[in-house]
Structure 1
């Protein structure tokens, strides 16, 4: 049986790194990409095939797509879009450029990569496109507006693409994690400091009492219901290897709870729950 191949983005740590290592151990040919060359070199030392892919650069996305197809002889079986980042802050304090920059990585680059790989998947007669969304792709929380918006956009485009691919052998899947033990909180700090002028915000007191302590104070224990990245990888394996993958995979208890509440509560009541 021919070795199956997958391109995974955002493999420097967290979900992407766990997925790359686990699938490699299961016999998949894993093309593990990172934004920084130094991270790629580290993965190469582990025995993984790794090269640079920066969603924010169209040139990088196109080059990575070409490299993936060259390495696999034009027959890449699957894509796992995983890389993303957050800009913590209230919506009223988000500059236009901040949203533009975040969407380049969290949305535009990801779907440019999908579109670059779709022709080869169509030509070979099969393919799996798996996008890592979030519970925040269908349920909003305060201080997370930029990230929420990008994941809502990912979900809208993924749902539309899934419908458009309905009569083809190409499956489009969303994985929707809740709290997972990754570096996303720490990695969001430079973006917060670059874009959010919290000192002059009308809600400065909320930044001081709620957001800044969560960002800057040492995390002494994991959040309630938090799972390890392996929980996402488990769902990814099912999405890749099952004959009929689900359109959506919930990961963590909060995702299931939010999904149920969104179906049964009015918007006003859901707002009350999610704002606590």
Structure 2
């Protein structure tokens, strides 16, 4: 039975991936940042424990647990856990950037490096990074998240080059709008870090960002939005195909933006992005 370690399984993409892969015959180690979320997954029959990407000790323990349960072998890793801190870039405190990079980049790299020796020893493995359309296109109000995903893309591309010939394949998934609680989960971090009332962007916060950020979960959706299963379908290909693609783009919005980055000069692309 093939084994996979997945981070960020409490909801959304990670949860859908864990359930789908288990149904396809994988042995899934579905981890979550919070112990209570891991307990809920364990109650439905998934092998789950707490793994907080922001904690070096938790990453070390989580990797050791996965390798121990797999008898020293791990066939795949899906680095999915991440969060956002909405806000204007000039309003982001240094501590906020440190916090988001610990989870969205440093923890991902640390976890990957802890399982790679087992994959190298087996001469086979799959590492899949969940990036975003914001890993190659910048949009307003998303500076912290954009920074982590741009960095993740560069790191992943380098890792893929360095692992050529080892039997370990590295892929990146770039979702666009996906129907998950991701936006709602970013609200507490916005409230923790962004002093919008003192910002030169205060009017824009009130008229643009906060209306979207605090919109009801059952409100109007983007016409490009897809369910988490759309990401899982690409993940399945990255894990099970004999020749996985280095990059998978999910949603029409992602493919449109990829095309615009190739077709438009920077100023024209800026004009498009400023309206989003």
Q: Is the partner of 1:49 in helix, strand or coil?
A: coil
The answer for the alignment partner of 2:234 in structure 1 is: 235
Distance in 1 (CA, whole Å) between partners of 2:225 and 2:78 is 22
Q: Is the partner of 2:72 in helix, strand or coil?
A: coil
For residues 257-276 of structure 1, the aligned pairs below 5 Å read 257-276=256-275
1:215 offset after TM fit, Å?
A: 1.0
Which one of 169, 178, 181 corresponds to residue 180 of structure 1?
A: 178
For residues 97-246 of structure 1, the aligned pairs below 5 Å read 97-219=95-217, 220-246=219-245
Which one of 8, 18, 21 corresponds to residue 20 of structure 1?
A: 18
Q: Is the partner of 1:88 in helix, strand or coil?
A: coil
Q: Is the partner of 2:48 in helix, strand or coil?
A: strand
- Please list the CA deviations of residues 32-83 of structure 1 after superposition, one character each: whole Å capped at 9, or x if unmatched: 0001111111111111100110000000000000000000001100000000
Which stretches in structure 1 are left out of the alignment for 5+ residues?
none
Distance in 2 (CA, whole Å) between partners of 1:217 and 1:262 is 29
Distance in 1 (CA, whole Å) between partners of 2:142 and 2:110 is 24
1:203 offset after TM fit, Å?
A: 1.1
Q: Is the partner of 2:31 in helix, strand or coil?
A: strand
RMSD (Å) for aligned C-alpha atoms: 0.6
The answer for the alignment partner of 1:87 in structure 2 is: 85
Q: Is the partner of 1:52 in helix, strand or coil?
A: coil
Distance in 2 (CA, whole Å) between partners of 1:62 and 1:244 is 30
TM-score (norm 1): 0.98
Distance in 2 (CA, whole Å) between partners of 1:50 and 1:57 is 17
1:168 offset after TM fit, Å?
A: 1.4
1:217 offset after TM fit, Å?
A: 2.6
Distance in 1 (CA, whole Å) between partners of 2:210 and 2:273 is 19
Distance in 2 (CA, whole Å) between partners of 1:229 and 1:218 is 19
Q: Across the two proteins, how many residue pairs are aligned to each other?
A: 274
1:53 aligns with 2:51: yes
Distance in 2 (CA, whole Å) between partners of 1:38 and 1:91 is 33
Which one of 9, 30, 33 corresponds to residue 7 of structure 2?
A: 9
1:264 offset after TM fit, Å?
A: 1.2
TM-score (norm 2): 0.98
- Please list the CA deviations of residues 204-250 of structure 1 after superposition, one character each: whole Å capped at 9, or x if unmatched: 00000001111113241222210000000000000000000000000
TM superposition outliers: structure 1 runs of 4+ over 4 Å: none
Distance in 2 (CA, whole Å) between partners of 1:216 and 1:227 is 20
